[in-house]
Chain A
Amino acid sequence: AQSVSQHNHHVILSEAASLELGCNYSYGGTVNLFWYVQYPGQHLQLLLKYFSGDPLVKGIKGFEAEFIKSKFSFNLRKPSVQWSDTAEYFCAVNANPGGYQKVTFGTGTKLQVIP
């Protein structure tokens, strides 16, 4: 069964610091990869996704993620965080793109940005 690991459970950063959140998955074949974000009091929403092509994916609000197949990783990055980035971030993986396979979520990383 596929699994998704987010090693950082809680990250605290000052504004303008750079961010990198780790995501590793266990499936060896083709995957579709997602980052979802949940701002305080709001619904979970898609931040970015990777299906194929350029492994460096850009999403909303200045976020990007890089798919490194050899490392089974899809880390989320932002060069300079803002207080408004305070949220919980979830990595998700679909290990059978085009087919019928449920999406598996990681356990989430809570990001707290201090002004």
Chain B
Amino acid sequence: DVKVTQSSRYLVKRTGEKVFLECVQDMDHENMFWYRQDPGLGLRLIYFSYDVKMKEKGDIPEGYSVSREKKERFSLILESASTNQTSMYLCASSSDRAFGNTEAFFGQGTRLTVV
């Protein structure tokens, strides 16, 4: 069974903290993605990576950065967490760069609360 695993289901962090969200996939996919999911807004792409050490901005990259040092791992970094970054964060991986030609596999999500 294919798997995308996010390290935490729930996180509570303080404003200004540096936050790391980790994602690991076991499907040997080249392409990995970070989305945030907010009620009424659906899924919005933050960053994606199509190869180790490669990254590209999505629709809402401000306030975020990413790291892809190994093929199976894709980290989302909130440099200085703010309350408007309280959200559900979803990691996904795909064999296709934009997964528009195949499906994406999602992790269970990390619900981050910034207080």
CB distance from B9 to the nearest CB of A (A): 9
A108 CB contacts on chain B under 8 angstroms: 42
Partner of B107, one of A9, A43, A101: A43
Which chain B residue lies CB-closest to A46? B103
Q: Determine if B101 and A98 form an interchain contact, defined as CB atoms under 8 angstroms apart.
A: yes
Interface size on B, residues (CB 8 A): 22
CB distance from B24 to the nearest CB of A (A): 14
Q: Determine if A51 and B101 form an interchain contact, defined as CB atoms under 8 angstroms apart.
A: yes
Q: Determine if B41 and A107 form an interchain contact, defined as CB atoms under 8 angstroms apart.
A: yes
Interface size on A, residues (CB 8 A): 27
Give the secondary structure class of B's interface. Answer: loop
Q: Determine if B42 and A106 form an interchain contact, defined as CB atoms under 8 angstroms apart.
A: yes
A97 CB contacts on chain B under 8 angstroms: 100-101
Given A43-B4, A43-B108, verify A94-B100 contact (CB < 8 Å): yes
A103 and B101 CA atoms in complex are apart in Å by 10
Partner of B98, one of A41, A44, A103, A105: A103
Task: Among B4, B100, B101, B104, find the residue whose CB has the most chain A CB atoms closer than 10 A.
Answer: B100
Given A9-B40, A107-B42, verify A102-B98 contact (CB < 8 Å): yes
List B residues 53-111 near A (Cβ within 8 Å).
58, 90, 92, 97-101, 103-104, 106-109
A91 and B25 CA atoms in complex are apart in Å by 24
CB distance from B22 to the nearest CB of A (A): 16
A99 CB contacts on chain B under 8 angstroms: 98
B98 CB contacts on chain A under 8 angstroms: 94, 96, 99-103
Some 7 contacts from A to B, beta carbons below 8 A apart, are A45-B106, A46-B103, A49-B103, A99-B98, A101-B100, A102-B100, A107-B41
Interface, chain B (partner A; CB < 8 A): 4, 40-45, 48, 58, 90, 92, 97-101, 103-104, 106-109
